[in-house]
Amino acid sequence: MDYGMGNRLSRIIKPKDGKTVMLAVDHGYFMGPTGGLENIGKSVTPLLRYADSLMLTRGILRSHIDPKIDIPIVLRASGGTSILKDDLSDEDIAVSMEDAVRLNVSAVALSIFIGSKNEKQGIINLSKLVDKGYKYGIPVLAVTAVGREMTRDARYLSLSVRIAAETGASIVKTYYCEDFEKVVETCPVPVVVAGGKKTSEAEAIKLAYDAVKHGASGVDMGRNIFQSEKPINMIKAVKAVVHKGISPEEAYNSIYNI
Ligand code: 5RP
């Protein structure tokens, strides 16, 4: 692997254990002012010292993140739709690789929508972004299975992550499911798991624990961290589960100092 790409990837997935806790705050690119992110400076800045990387849009990166903070950036590079549309799959590449270089990011991220009417568009966009990324040594993270009516089972998720990896993604983000090890086993690149809609802290921690136990390289978690009543304690708990393998019960108790 090219040095630049390998170096950037190792900033995201930590070489000491091959794991990562990515903090995702890119939701606004199609959801607008998502709950918990209305004032990103206030809600996200205190979490940065605990996250292994930060996934966000260039607008928020430029407006709210101090360039002196040492945190690897995963830049949301796809867009073009909003939650007001029935179909979220009509995305395109929305950021140039030159701007990603200017922002000194460690990876760029793009969603694909396997099975949707814009399936081909997403895959071809991923392919184009990978080509551009290789030019500058910037890896691409493919986000799979976002959408309202998806059956997120192992069969569908394996298909989605494998297509993402075959198209050239260096990391694939997907959802946790039953038989998750089958999803990971058939994917040749690291798989990270999204947190999904806000659930209880106990459930979100268990999700992170189960995902890693069944082969995930970590999580790319958003709402279950920044919408938690105790976001700092929550990200610390998720980190302990992912990097130290502590039990979900111990991690949950640590949030409330039980
Ligand atoms: C949306 C995304 C989000 O980053 C992703 O869904 C992670 O956040 P959450 O844990 O809130 O689901 O890629 O397309």
CA 98 vs CA 8, 45, 91: distances in Å = 16, 26, 20
Q: Residue 216's domain spans which residues?
A: 3-256
**173: burial class by Cβ within 10 Å (0-12, 13-18, 19+)?**
buried
Atom of ligand 1 nearest to the CA of 196: 12
Nearest to 192 by CA among 167, 222, 168: 222
CATH assignment of the domain containing 150: 3.20.20.70
Other C-beta atoms closer than 10 Å to the C-beta of 141 total: 30
Dist. CA 35–CA 38, nearest whole Å: 6
Dist. CA 234–CA 54, nearest whole Å: 16
DSSP H helical ranges for 56-200 = 58-64, 97-102, 119-136, 154-167, 180-185
Nearest CA owner, ligand 1 atom 2: 27
Residues 6+ apart with CB under 8 A from 97: 108, 129, 132, 133, 135, 136, 138
* pLDDT tens profile 169-185: 999 999 999 999 999 99
CA of 253 to the centre of ligand 1 (A): 25
How many independent structural domains does the chain possess?
Answer: 1
Other C-beta atoms closer than 10 Å to the C-beta of 109 total: 28
Pocket probe mutation, ligand 1, options 108, 199, 220, 234, max atoms within 8 Å of Cβ: 220
Reading the block at residue 4, the tokens are 């630049």
Cβ pair 126, 167 in contact under 8 A: yes
Residue 78 CB less than 6 A away from ligand 1: no
From 132, 173, 206, 236, the catalytic residue: 173
Residue 194 CB less than 6 A away from ligand 1: yes
Atom of ligand 1 nearest to the CA of 26: 4
The helices-and-strands tally (H runs, E runs) of the chain is 12, 10
Pocket probe mutation, ligand 1, options 54, 223, 225, 234, max atoms within 8 Å of Cβ: 223
Residue given tokens 């089958």 in the structure block: 182
Residue 192 CB less than 6 A away from ligand 1: no
Dist. CA 80–CA 122, nearest whole Å: 12
Residue 28 CB less than 6 A away from ligand 1: no
Reading the block at residue 33, the tokens are 């002012």
CA of 173 to the centre of ligand 1 (A): 9
Is 173 in the active site?
yes
**Whole-number pLDDT of residue 112:** 97
User: Is this prediction's pTM over 0.85?
Assistant: yes
CA of 194 to the centre of ligand 1 (A): 6
Within 13 Å, how many C-alpha atoms sit on residue 6's CB side?
Answer: 4
Q: One digit per residue, pLDDT tens: the chain, 258 residues?
A: 899 999 999 999 999 999 999 999 999 999 999 999 999 999 999 999 999 999 999 999 999 999 999 999 999 999 999 999 988 999 999 999 999 999 999 999 999 999 999 999 999 999 999 999 999 999 999 999 776 667 889 999 999 999 999 999 999 999 999 999 999 999 999 999 999 999 999 999 999 999 999 999 999 999 999 999 999 999 999 999 999 999 999 999 999 986
CA 13 vs CA 1, 36, 109, 141: distances in Å = 15, 26, 15, 12
CA of 135 to the centre of ligand 1 (A): 27
CA of 34 to the centre of ligand 1 (A): 11
**Whole-number pLDDT of residue 258:** 67
Reading the block at residue 51, the tokens are 């996250």
